[in-house]
Structure 1
Amino acid sequence: MSKQEKHVIPEDIYDLQFPSDPQISPDGKKVIFVKKWIHKKEQKYYSNLYSVDTSRGTVVQFTRGDQKDIKPRWSRNGKQLLFIRSTKDKSELLSFYGGLGEPMPLISLEDGDIQDLAFSPDDKWVAVLIQKYDVSGEERKKEPLKRDIDRLFYRLDGEGYRQKRAVQLFIVKSRGGRLIPITDVPRDVTDFAWNHDGTGIYYVTNDHEDPDRHMDEESIFFYSLKEKRHVRIEKPAGPIGWVQTDPEGKYLYFAGHFKPGHSWGAVNSEIQQLLLETGEIHSLTASLDRTTDMVTLGDITPSFVKQKALFQTPEDFLFTISSEGANPLLKYNIPSGEITPLLDGPECVVSFSMSRDGKNIAVHLAQMERPDEIWLLELNSEKHFRRITFLNDEYMNSISCNVPEEYHIPSDNAVIQSWLLKPPGFSSNKKYPLLLQIHGGPRAQYGYTWFHEMHVFAAAGFVVLYTNPQGSQGYGHTFADAITGKWAEPAMNDLMAAMDYILELGFVDPEQCFVTGGSYGGYMTNWVVSHTNRFKGAVTQRSICDLSSFFGTSDTGWDLEADFHDVPWKNTELYKKWSPITYADKIETPLCIIHSEKDLRCPVEQAEQLFVRLKYDKKPVRLVLFPEESHGLSRGGRPDRRVERLKIMLEEFRV
């Protein structure tokens, strides 16, 4: 079959390669990266490590087997490589030394998970984050006699009822030895960093007396290895994304803000500089009015990847932001405060690592033109940016697809960045059905990624419209905060303005328009069909229809108080006003409700009550439930269920 004849289909996820987490060697000669793949027979995801020579471009598989190998990390002298291996029986920290032989285990756990690691500056020690289980492996598989719950945050989407202890910080000698505990805190250690000379470790945890009600009030501590003492670093209350130290030990850097109690994502995470001598704190990135969190969405590209700032020199560090659909790579000069873009094209820097001299940077890059690959940025006499993996070229050469076109559409007090993906063989003389996609978050963004789902619908003959309405991140605090207290507005007006604009172009059949979205996008899908009949059909996914019940049944539902500045039992009318189910009697659009049975973020009761209400009223409605799956079905669910979800949507949107 020729390239012109083969289009993207749901089953193509089995053919795609998923590279991530490139780690360049200190001398800049090699990049180790993770490649995730799908075992079609087992319907499972596995990952192995691969190595690419930066001069010759040769790619070699570094580890093999049906397991999950992640988090490769070089020692600072480049002689040792550590990584985490997870199998069904255990979690291990494995070591390659000298690049030869089989990896040797430094840590092997059957009662816990190793989550992160970092070498000390002298390479003699390794700090690790470990989460241990409350019960043994066999006991975890059994249902308990009862569940005795005494805390607000007792479940977590993707995990279920919490059977794990808090994540703790440990150290171990890099050549092996006894695992030494550093922390014994009641809540997770979420990040850490060695200090400049390796005499201690900074770490982040929540030590609030009521941490479940104040999940965004985290603290930084310093542990001195010599004194064996924990010291709390004074700072205003607020969330912390990561912590980092400078090469000279003068400053502590962290990503976060000092406005706890605000709705998630509405306040930008900024890079804060803390002078250790005085405790004085300055935001270095406030002038950008952008978040340093990676909030670009995709089903091939990972989202919400934690990427610390990395020091290129004692006076310069590199970092990323989320901005207008992109994730540019920027350089900050500390003495001058000057911010210089290194990579600022229409693309997404998902993560990066740097050679010892700061002149070679390995980049996990997402683009609209192709699925993710690993690139190398060389900063010698001239800047040179080149691709060093070609994992998805064979697939891309076998299919025909278009690159989305970008539009900037005026709406209420804002201009809405939007993309339109046209079907292969598009002709402006024809009329096409349209599918409006609405993203979740809500404080996230569509952007410059190759989105498998979008291409599936374009290949089926649809013009696919996706936008970043107000409430999205990437356009500043005011834009992200616009929906606070009124979730559906002004997002509804923005979405309809985008629809009107595209219809005016003349190649869309207004009688063949469909809408879909997941999570907050599902909430908005429910809102759209309960407030307009312009769509021929709709699929609402992992959605919210009743904010009052969501408050009490979601794993983090009480966070709605930050959005609506009240709770449902005190302000029933407010929650009722912004709940789509209030307007269910207005729904005439045929609606398919897709939901995962183990979704704890947007619980399945949201789907069930909407289905029963519409079915009872004899409205055209269908409920499709996926067993075992959690909120992230479309991105990380069992592969055959991901395929089936797309097939159901194609079936619902037949024209």
Structure 2
Amino acid sequence: MKKRVSHFLSLVLLLGLAGVIALGQGGDNRRNLTVDDYFRIQHLSDPQLSPEGKWIAFVISTMDLEKDESQSRIWMVPVEGGEAIPMTATGTSAWRPRWSPDGKYLSFLSARGNGKTQVWTLFRKGGDAVQLTGIPQGVQSYEWSPDSSKLLLTIKDPKPEDLEGKKDKKKTPKPWVIDRLQFKRDYVGYLDHRRSHLYVFDIKSKKVTQITSGDFDDREPAWSPDGKFVAFVSNRTEEPDSNYNTDIWVVAADNPDKGKTMLQVTKNPGSDSSPTWSPDGKYIAYISVTDPEAFVYATPHLAVIPFKGGEPKVLTKKLDRHISNPRFSLDGKSIYFVLEDSGEYQLARIPVGGGKVERLITGSTGVYDFEIGKGGMITALITEPHLPPEVFIYAKGKLKQLSHVNQKLLSEVRLGAVEEIRFKSKDGTEIEAFVVKPPGFDPSFRYPTLLRLHGGPVAQYDYGFNFSAQLFAAHGYVVVLPNPRGSSGYGQDFSLALVKSKGDKEFEDVMAAVDYVIEQGYADPDRLGVGGWSYGGELTNLVIVKTDRFKAAISGAGTALYVSNYGHDQYQRWWENELGLPWKEENRENWERLSPFYYVENVTTPTLFVGGEKDWNVPIINAEQFYQALRRLGRTTQLVVYPGEYHGIGTPSYLKDLYERYLDWYDKYVKGSSSTK
């Protein structure tokens, strides 16, 4: 890609990049990455800068293969540098660290004791964690009030047994009675009318006051700087299940009528979300989809609106790139945000009145999260091609890494070089991709090559650390990671290109990626594999019905027979918007023409299907039906279903099994050998 590096951040700081991103391999004692190394990686998230600017709290999530469980703990690291120290013990997970604005407490969420998630606090001067809330059904999320006297809680309506304190888990469950239009959600299951609402919890009196209600979900609450109001996101249209029209609302923090009196701030027919207040409390910045007709393919923009309502000002209309995480500067003159652009996640800012976007952290790095603290110091979660996300600070134009939790593992392994490439698709459209090469790469040798396809489809491969790609590279594969049409990071028209034409333009794009690396002389055209997860699995299905060039395919949680998903997954709004009602004669051609299932007789590639038993995002029925058809036709295929798993496989032993099956399937049919199973 274009090497755009801001004056704030030199390439020298980021591993001395020059066209190809390569990690110095050090001594000969380094080894190649293995499946088990995944369970040594510590995953960081949610960095929070203390009010006085001296400490950063964050979450470290780990997986324990022996216990077959995952756990999250709160840690913190000094801004001046030094070792990270644990703030919560092992045994019970803790997450969502937040500092009280007066600096006295570090709070977090944990499901200790009776298994219900509550807010816990640690006194800065020492002592054990103390449970602060005692909500019968538990707490979903929370925020401190500006004066540290209250908490803003997000709580889901209780089940009867929550209020009765029943603990008998063996009782036969009641039948689900369903009357909602959208009645399923991944990781939840069937949906009822229990909704998430906002409550104010007084820390001194322990009094809980409900400030929103109704048959709507309320989320992303944010206190006004004076603590008098709360901005939040809610879809309060006549039929919320039929659209994505969320708006920004404001309710008084001392509202006595459970939110019957509130102000609708935005009235955009598209989705509005992520509200954040200006320091003077006069304005709210937020993310707005201004083209609802483009639906999920629309570019979300940064907008500002007076908190009492009025005409919004869209600040990034000409930018035409996805943005997220808006944050006002401390002086209120500009707004910071994360910007997706051509395989990068940049930190950028723009004047609050509009103007030129200033890109602060760019290049071969990914800014996944950030917060602004005292003196304008920014703490950020940053990843690089050979670095899983770590905590950094950015101040006075300089970037400094504070956490080094994966340093030991990284010092032991050899990682493959990562190269950004650009090439032309069949119709002349420029496409970007990343290539991960085996350690010790020899450009004169033709390697077995894997085409790995990302999910979304509105997402992008980026410069961040990619364990699975590095694992494949460690086993001798060149790994190609394309961003075909439909991806984010390249503008709305680029994303919209696959609407009602899935399997056409993006197929040409990903095949052009394969042809490009073959032309470079290091990819073996006779040893090719393909695969992906979610939309990557769907695109894999679309690829194998169109070409026999691949020796092996792995389709993870991908759709196949589109009509089977209507009323069975969580996307009925998406299906209707893109393809129309499936029983209408005028829509039937699209539903059938685009479904890879109907072209199953074209498939000759040995294909492994994998997915979770309880996946309501892309239900396992897709894999089952495609597998059934291939098996009936006598083709080489296998289906693996992980019990109790959702769209993402989370059980450590299942993840180990999944990675080993990946390697075994590719080794057997691409290389002609077997490695693990």
Q: Place the TM-score, normalised by the shorter chain, in its bin.
A: over 0.9
Q: Are the equivalent residues in 1 in contact too, given 2:420–2:435 (CA < 8 A)?
A: yes
Q: Check whether the contact 2:200–2:208 (CA below 8 A) recurs between aligned residues.
A: yes
Match of 1:22 in 2: 47
- Report if aligned partners of 2:447, 2:476 keep a CA contact under 8 Å in 1: yes
Equivalent runs, 1:500-515 vs 2, <5 Å: 500-515=515-530
> Post-superposition shift, 1:413?
4.4
Question: Is the Cα–Cα contact under 8 Å of residues 530 and 587 in structure 1 kept in the other structure?
Answer: yes
Residue 107 of structure 1: aligned partner = 133
| AA aligned opposite 2:270 | G
Task: Give the aligned residue type for 1:632.
Answer: G
What secondary structure is seen at the aligned counterpart in 2 of 1:273? strand
Change (3 A) 1:17 1:227: closer
CA separation of 1:280 and 1:43: change in aligned 2, threshold 3 A: same
Does the CA contact (< 8 Å) of 2:449 and 2:480 recur in 1?
yes
What is the CA–CA distance in structure 1 between the aligned matches of 2:191 and 2:172, rounded to whole Å?
A: 13
State how far apart, in whole Å, the 2-side matches of 1:95 and 1:332 are. 36
How far apart, CA to CA, are the structure 2 residues paired with 1:104 and 1:176?
16
CA distance in 2, matches of 1:610, 1:504: 33
**Match of residue 296 from structure 1:** none
More displaced, 269-278 or 493-502? Answer: 269-278
1:38 corresponds to 2:53: no
The residue number in structure 1 matching 2:625 is 609
Report the 3-state secondary structure (helix = DSSP H, G, I; strand = E; otherwise coil) of the residue aligned with 1:553.
coil
C-alpha displacement of 1:241: 2.8
Q: Does 1:7 align with 2:32?
A: yes
Deviation at 1:189, TM superposition (A): 0.8
Tell me the C-alpha RMSD between the 2 structures: 2.0
Deviation at 1:340, TM superposition (A): 1.4
Alpha-carbon spacing, 1:179–1:551, altered in 2? closer, same or farther (3 Å)? same
2:595 alignment counterpart: 579
Q: Does 1:401 align with 2:415?
A: yes
Q: 1:104: Cα distance to partner? A: 1.7
Listed as ranges, the matches of 1:269-280 within 5 Å are 269-276=300-307, 279-280=310-311
TM-score, with length taken from structure 1 = 0.93
- CA distance change for structure 1 residues 261 and 176 in 2, over 3 Å: closer, same or farther? farther
| CA–CA separation in structure 2 for the residues paired with 1:140 and 1:237 | 43
Q: Does 1:476 align with 2:491?
A: yes
Contact 1:437/1:515, CA 8 A, preserved across alignment: yes
Q: Which amino acid aligns with 2:423?
A: I
Deviations 1:507-561 (A, max 9, x none): 2211110000111111111111111000111111101111111223212244112
Q: What pairs up with 1:416-431 in 2 under 5 angstroms? A: 416-431=431-446
Q: Deviations over 1:76-114 (max 9, x none)?
A: 2322222111347121101223342112221134423x2
CA distance in structure 1 between the aligned counterparts of 2:198 and 2:400, rounded to whole angstroms: 38
Query: Is 2:152 aligned against 1:127?
Result: yes
Q: CA deviation at 1:234?
A: 4.5
Please say if residues 45 and 381 of structure 2, whose CA atoms lie closer than 8 Å, have aligned partners that are also in contact: yes
3-state SS of the aligned residue for 2:435?
A: strand
CA distance in 1, matches of 2:268, 2:30: 59
Q: What is the CA distance between 1:15 and its match in structure 2?
A: 0.8
Determine which of 366, 369, 383 is the counterpart of 1:348.
366
Q: Structure 1 580/553 Cα, relative in aligned 2: closer, same or farther at 3 Å?
A: same
Which among 90, 105, 129 is matched to residue 116 of structure 2?
90
Give the counterpart letter for 1:27 in structure 2: E
Residue 4 of structure 1: how far off its partner (Å):
4.7
Deviations 1:191-221 (A, max 9, x none): 111123111111211111111111x111222
Using the alignment, how far apart are the partners of 1:400 and 1:276 within structure 2? Answer: 52
Contact kept? 2:118, 2:133, Cα under 8 Å: yes
* Counterparts of 2:216 and 2:564, CA distance in 1: 27
The AA in structure 1 aligned to 2:202 is K
Post-superposition Cα deviations, 1:44-82, rounded to whole Å, max 9, x if no partner, equal 111111111111423211111222211111222322222
- Distance in 1 (alpha carbons) for counterparts of 2:212 and 2:563: 38
- TM-superposed deviation, 1:235: 1.7
Is 1:235 the counterpart of 2:264? The answer is no
What is the deviation of 1:598? 1.0
Q: 1:454-473, aligned counterparts within 5 Å? A: 454-473=469-488
Determine the C-alpha separation between the residues in 1 that align with 2:188 and 2:94.
20
Once the two structures are TM-superposed, the CA of residue 565 in structure 1 deviates from its matched residue by: 4.6
User: Contact 2:180/2:192 (CA < 8 Å) preserved in 1?
Assistant: no
- Residues 335 and 603 (structure 1), Cα distance of their counterparts in 2 relative to 1, 3 Å cut: closer
- Partner of 2:438: helix, strand, or coil? coil
Q: Deviations over 1:259-312 (max 9, x none)?
A: 335332x1111111112466011111112111114xxxxxxxxxxxxx342433
Q: Aligned residue for 1:224?
A: 252
Distance in 1 between residues matched to 2:91 and 2:292, nearest whole Å: 42
Aligned counterpart, 1:200? 229
1:62 paired residue among 75, 84, 87? 87
**Worse overlay, 121-130 or 332-341:** 332-341
Q: Is the 8 A contact 1:3 1:397 kept in 2?
A: no
Deviation at 1:2, TM superposition (A): 7.2
Q: Normalised by the size of structure 2, how large is the TM-score?
A: 0.90
CA distance in 1, matches of 2:169, 2:216: 21
Q: Provide, for residues 358-407 of structure 1, a one-character-per-residue CA deviation record: whole Å limited to 9, x for no partner.
A: 1x11111111121111111112xxx2211001111100000111231110
Helix, strand or coil: the match of 1:405?
A: strand
Aligned to 1:644: 657
Q: Is the 1:486–1:564 Cα contact (8 Å) retained in structure 2?
A: no
Do 1:530 and 1:580's aligned partners in 2 also have CA atoms closer than 8 Å? yes
Letter in 2 for 1:610: F
Following the alignment from structure 2 to structure 1, what is the Cα–Cα distance between the partners of residues 367 and 205? Answer: 35
Q: Runs of 5+ in structure 1 lacking a partner? A: 294-306
For residue 255 of structure 1, report the CA deviation from its aligned partner: 0.8
Identity among equivalent positions (%) equals: 27
Aligned partners of 1:629, 1:45: CA distance in 2, in Å?
Answer: 14
Among candidates 334, 338, 360, match of residue 320 of structure 1: 338
Per the alignment, residue 268 of structure 1 pairs with 299
Tell me the CA shift for residue 18 of structure 1: 0.9
Q: Is the 8 A contact 2:183 2:192 kept in 1?
A: no
Is 1:47–2:72 an aligned residue pair? Answer: yes
CA distance in 1, matches of 2:429, 2:265: 40
2:190 maps to amino acid: Y
Matches within 5 A, 1:259-338: 259-260=291-292, 262-264=294-296, 266-276=297-307, 279-293=310-324, 307-335=325-353, 337-338=355-356
**Distance 1:603-1:111 versus aligned 2 partners, 3 A rule:** same
| Equivalent residue, structure 2, for 1:298 | none
Aligned to 1:395, the other structure's residue is in SS state helix
Moved more, 272-281 or 492-501: 272-281
User: Residue in 2 aligned with 1:251?
Assistant: 283
Equivalent residue runs for 1:130-149 within 5 Å? 130-136=155-161, 138=167, 143-149=172-178
> What are the superposed Cα offsets for residues 569-607 of structure 1, whole Å, 9 maximum, x if unpaired?
442111111000111011111111112111111111111
- Displacement, 1:226? 4.9
- The residue aligned with 2:513 is 498
Q: Secondary structure at the match of 2:517?
A: helix
Q: What whole-Å deviation, never above 9, does each CA across 1:2-51 have from its counterpart, x for those lacking one?
A: 76552111111221111111111122111111111123322111111111
Counterpart residue type for residue 285 of structure 1: T
SS at match of 1:643: helix
Separation (CA, whole Å) in 1 of partners of 2:234 and 2:168: 29
Which runs of 5 or more structure 2 residues have no equivalent in the other structure? 1-25, 672-677
Using a 3 Å threshold, how does the CA distance of structure 1 residues 5 and 79 change in structure 2: closer, same or farther? Answer: closer
Equivalent residue for 1:433, pick from 448, 451, 455: 448
**Counterpart of 2:209?**
180
- Please report how far the alpha carbon of residue 425 of structure 1 lies from its aligned counterpart in structure 2 after TM superposition: 1.5
Question: C-alpha displacement at 1:450, in angstroms?
Answer: 0.8
Task: Report the CA distance shift for 1:236/1:562 in structure 2 as closer, same or farther (over 3 A).
Answer: same
